[in-house]
Structure 1
Amino acid sequence: MNDQNHSLNKSSNNNLDNSLDKSFGQQSVSPSQRDQKIRSVFQLVAPRYDLMNDFMSFGTHRIWKRVFVNSIPFKASDIIVDLAGGTGDIARKLQHKGANVVVVDPSIEMMSAGKKTHSLAVSNIAALGERLPFTDASIDKLTISFGIRNMTSMTAALQEIYRVLKPGGQYYCLEFSRPMMPIRPFYNLYNQYIIPRLGALVAGQPEAYQYLIESIQRFPDQETMKALLEDAGFSDVSYRNLFFGIACIHVGTKKHS
């Protein structure tokens, strides 16, 4: 890719991220309003968040998360941060494998819900992804599962993730993505009509789940997300589709000095 094309791609990626920063579902909002509205969503859905994930995905999110955790190599001495870790399901899976992991999430309600429903405790820190409470180059690996799209600013969050990782440290992200064409129409219909109704029936929060679906629809596709990670400075960026691209694992490494 020549410099001119790279510059055009980077500008396009920045425009995409800026549009996410200033949106809440299909609404145009300021970044501060976006932050407040997202925090409100997770406060509302926290008590039944894990249950709703089972209903919405027919339990397949558990398979995706197991594949995700099994894809992360680590040493016992590694310090792992699970960003936007919510109720702690990824952190507990990593703990079961012997990892030293801490959950970072701005939603106290989500972390509290995890403590109430699970016997295995994880360490929790309430903090924003855009302002991580760690020193430069202090974290070996950082994971995030279905959370990067809910950052107030994805660009700022990726920059912070890069800052706190040690040189050679790795970023692992599990997120919804763009499914392959044969199943895309059915997937879109399911998201548009079924999930908000499930949100109303099971969680009593149809509006909150409408936002979550709209945030999935606006999220970058696999190649665009790969480019955003490269723009943030990551090297050896790759992705792996799960279930025909409905979900995707993105991996990037912080460059050595």
Structure 2
Amino acid sequence: MNSNVNQPMHFDIAEIMCGLYGDGIIGLKQAFTRKWVQSVREDIDRLFAEALQRPGGALPRGPERYYVEISPEQLRGFVDLASHPWVTTVCKAVLGPNYKIVELGFDVPGPGALDQPWHRDFPSPSETVIGRRLNSLAFNLTTVDVTEDMGPFEVAPGTQWDVFHGCEKGMFPPQTLYPRYEARKQKKMPQMGDISARSALTIHRGTANRSDKSRPVLVLGVDAPDARNAEKHDLQVTEAFYSTLPDSIQRHLNCRIVKTLEPIVQAHTIEGLLMAA
């Protein structure tokens, strides 16, 4: 058993499906050791500092809030994350055996980050609106013990199925629906080692960070074969790194294989988040 992994290898498929098709978010406490998470935080801090110096390297997602896409080989814990039995079980259960990893990055809500408007991360695809099927997932891993003043993530369970019109790209619900989300909202307070999986269509927001600490969160985006979120990202690995990966990870990577890593030009901008709610 991987020494970085704390949990047993068996998980209940019915429980996973019930959570993601019901609330739209599930989690696993202490999936990883705190020591492993500390190494992830070290990599994020270094990569964030580099991204801030590079044009387009860090996308703003509101005041004092940024998103950065990275390559798997820039994160020491990538193989552990991509092969964690809970992660692979959730992906296979919801997205099927041929799921694809399409995104790796991190959010950094720093001190002074404000409440975001309620939103989903991209428009609902027809597979969800008409077919009532989830074809993508986002895994989030906190690198800190979240406290009330650090701008916790808020989610409105069950809203991955909401349909609304007349708003920007189908991502930002009209304010007339805000009472629905306020009534349903749950504030998430994960600790180092915890991991969650959610439908990015579930209505959510980051809240104001009133502390003097940043709250970096690792993000892993995964698609079913018919989803098209890879078009918004540029996952890439070098030939040398790719050759070191086990087949169990290689076959699930939707990536470019390059000789040397190239600067990632991020395409998934969310203009509606650039102004505080």
TM over 0.5: no
TM-score w.r.t. structure 1 length?
0.34
Q: Which has the higher contact order (CA 8 A, sep 6+)?
A: 2
